[in-house]
């Protein structure tokens, strides 16, 4: 049975992951509105990843005998000035999620809950990838100036991205 302190923070993390999914879906809709379907696809894949993360936490909590308590999902931002601003927001958001996950890992260590600590290793490793992807795209957008042929090339590249659930997750 998982202890009450970890149950509480994991429930909050489920909500945070579902908010992340909602945010990325909003970003996808924004990109559709400015005729960047590849960018929209990239964000829909993020949406699917975040849903997967939320469900992974939910399943884990159930497996450990905890009670899942879903909360309301806050309305996400839906307007940005340009694609660069969207990805800067993405990076800022992912850094926030990293802090939340590190907090759960710290609580798991204090509570000597090795199963939760092991789960958090997977999520923290995933966050390194999430932040790295956002930083790479920010750098690319800055290099091409957010317009012209470079944007077309990125949009085409992003249209090929698909969500593949991790095998060992």
CATH of the domain spanning 4-158: 1.20.1260.10
**Overall pTM > 0.85:** yes
**Is pLDDT at 168 greater than 80 in this prediction?**
no
Q: What percent of the chain has pLDDT over 90?
A: 95
d(CA 43, CA 36) in angstroms, rounded, equals 11
Task: Output the CA–CA distances (angstroms, integers) from residue 44 to 20, 53, 82, 92, in the order listed.
Answer: 11, 14, 18, 18
Q: Are 7 and 43 in contact (CB under 8 A)?
A: no
**Is pLDDT at 167 greater than 80 in this prediction?**
no
Confidence of residue 169 (pLDDT cuts 50, 70, 90): low
Strands (E), the chain: none
Confidence of residue 97 (pLDDT cuts 50, 70, 90): very high
- pLDDT attached to residue 105: 98
């Amino acid at each position: 049975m998982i202890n009450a302190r970890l149950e509480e923070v994991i429930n909050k993390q489920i909500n945070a992951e579902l908010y992340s999914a909602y945010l990325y879906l909003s970003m996808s809709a924004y990109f559709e509105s400015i005729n960047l379907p590849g960018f929209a696809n990239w964000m829909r894949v993020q949406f699917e990843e975040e849903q997967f993360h939320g469900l992974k936490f939910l399943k884990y909590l159930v497996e450990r005998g905890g009670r899942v308590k879903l909360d309301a999902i806050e309305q996400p931002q839906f307007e940005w000035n340009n694609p660069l601003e969207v990805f800067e927001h993405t990076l800022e958001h992912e850094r926030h999620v990293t802090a939340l996950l590190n907090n759960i890992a710290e609580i798991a260590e204090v509570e000597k809950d090795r199963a939760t600590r092991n789960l958090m290793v997977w999520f923290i490793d995933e966050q390194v990838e999430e932040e790295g992807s956002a930083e790479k795209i920010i750098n690319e957008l800055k290099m091409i100036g957010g317009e012209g042929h470079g944007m077309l090339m990125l949009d085409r590249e992003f249209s090929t991205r698909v969500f593949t659930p991790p095998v060992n997750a």
